[in-house]
Amino acid sequence: MVRNRCTSPVWQATAPVLAVHGGAGRIVPEELGAQRAAAARRGLSQSLAAGMTVLRDGGSALDAVVAAVLVLEDDEQFNAGRGAVLTAGGGVEHDAAVADGATRRAGAVTCVSGIRNPVLAARAVLERTPHVLLSGTGAQELARREGLAVVPVDWFVTARRQQQLAGIRPSDRAEPEFTGGTVGAVALDIEGHLAAATSTGGTTGQLAGRVGDTPLVGAGTWADDRSCAVSATGDGEALILSVFAHEVDALVRLAGLHLGAACQRALHETELRAGTGGCIAVGPDGTVAMPFTSAGMFRGAIDATGDPRIGMFTEDNAC
């Protein structure tokens, strides 16, 4: 039986603070296996280290979330960058977003293939254009103009994702494999600014052109220094319909809820739209929440004390 939902309390962390996720879904010990669990733990801890190095050096929350997500995009076990899931036709379509709580601005790209690190393209939209969201060829053109690394689409495709698309299970496993692995990061820097970043390949076998919550500002990604930074993962359609990340913000900023309670309430709204998922969120006071309604979520957090907390299953007491 798969037990859903993490009800562990929030963590009161000390600035600078960074939290990362590597996707929510059916992540349970007996199906994941020790090897994949160890690899996920390694990836999360490398991502935390990269982002925290930036924050410790006095870098901005925005620099930190981009650094943390870059590591996860380059790690092919996660559903972002190389190793992302494939569309129904076997194609690659990446989505990514960044949100800057200091300026309350955001940048995002959707349906791009060929940009090695989509999170950098999202940042380019934020910093180098008057726009918020660029799609497909327009986003790829911007990436080229900005000198970002562009690679052939085949470079992103791994044998594991091709097998998942074909419905082939690893030989040692009767249960379907966890196919998610969207990545994200949220941070609070020493200046008190918040930022969020999320990156994904979407869902296995999605129709070409499908857009999930990740690049939709207010659904999968959000940051406002007055309230919180949020990066979501899970059933994208339900997260879009519940305007998830903005719902967390509104519950904190307008309704005065504590960040942990706001995340739980927003996840409940997502459940009302028949979706499960999770999020990582950080507030301006250093509160970290990492709740989920799915069976598990790859997640980790670190603060000024430097002790990383990493979890993946319901019973892990990461926060």
What residues are annotated to the active site? 182
Around Cβ 205, how many Cβ atoms within 10 Å?
17
Half-sphere exposure in the Cβ direction for 261 (13 Å, CA): 7
Q: Which of 22, 59, 81, 234 is in the footprint of ligand ASP by CB under 6 A?
A: 234
Interacting stretch for ligand ASP, rule CB under 6 A, among 46-54, 158-166, 212-220, 267-275?
212-220
For residue 177, which of 167, 186, 189, 187 has the smallest C-alpha distance? 167
Which residues, 13 to 52, sit near ligand ASP by CB under 6 A? 23
Q: Angle CA(198)–CA(262)–CA(239) in degrees, nearest 5?
A: 45
Interacting stretch for ligand ASP, rule CB under 6 A, among 33-41, 99-107, 132-140, 228-236?
228-236
State whether the Cα torsion 41-63-153-201 is positive or negative: positive
For residue 15, what are the contacts with CB-CB under 8 A and spacing of at least 6? 188, 189, 190, 192, 286, 303, 304
Interacting stretch for ligand ASP, rule CB under 6 A, among 34-42, 161-169, 198-206, 303-311?
198-206
Cβ–Cβ < 8 Å for 125, 96: no
Q: Which of 113, 117, 182, 294 is in the footprint of ligand ASP by CB under 6 A?
A: 182
Q: According to the binding rule CB under 6 A, does residue 180 interact with ligand ASP? A: yes
Half-sphere exposure in the Cβ direction for 306 (13 Å, CA): 3
Which residues, 235 to 274, sit near ligand ASP by CB under 6 A? 236, 239
Q: Which of 87, 203, 287, 314 is in the footprint of ligand ASP by CB under 6 A?
A: 203
Chain centroid to Cα 177, Å, comes to 19
Of the pair 118, 202, the CB lying nearest ligand ASP is at 202
Q: According to the binding rule CB under 6 A, does residue 73 interact with ligand ASP? A: no
Q: According to the binding rule CB under 6 A, does residue 296 interact with ligand ASP? A: no
Q: According to the binding rule CB under 6 A, does residue 275 interact with ligand ASP? A: no
Q: According to the binding rule CB under 6 A, does residue 213 interact with ligand ASP? A: yes
Of the pair 117, 203, the CB lying nearest ligand ASP is at 203
Distance CA 67, CA 49 (A): 9
Interacting stretch for ligand ASP, rule CB under 6 A, among 12-20, 70-78, 156-164, 211-219?
211-219
Counted residue by residue, the chain has a size of 319
Of the pair 146, 271, the CB lying nearest ligand ASP is at 271
Beta carbon of residue 135, minimum distance to ligand ASP (angstroms, whole number)? 14
DSSP structure string for 227-288: TEEEEEEE-HHHHHHTTHHHHHHHHHHTT---HHHHHHHHHHHHHHTT--EEEEEE-TT-EE
Q: What are phi and psi of 178, to 5 degrees?
A: -65, 120
Q: Which of 118, 212, 291, 308 is in the footprint of ligand ASP by CB under 6 A?
A: 212
* Residues of the shown chain interacting with ligand ASP in the complex, contacts defined by CB under 6 A: 23, 180, 182, 200, 202-203, 212-214, 233-234, 236, 239
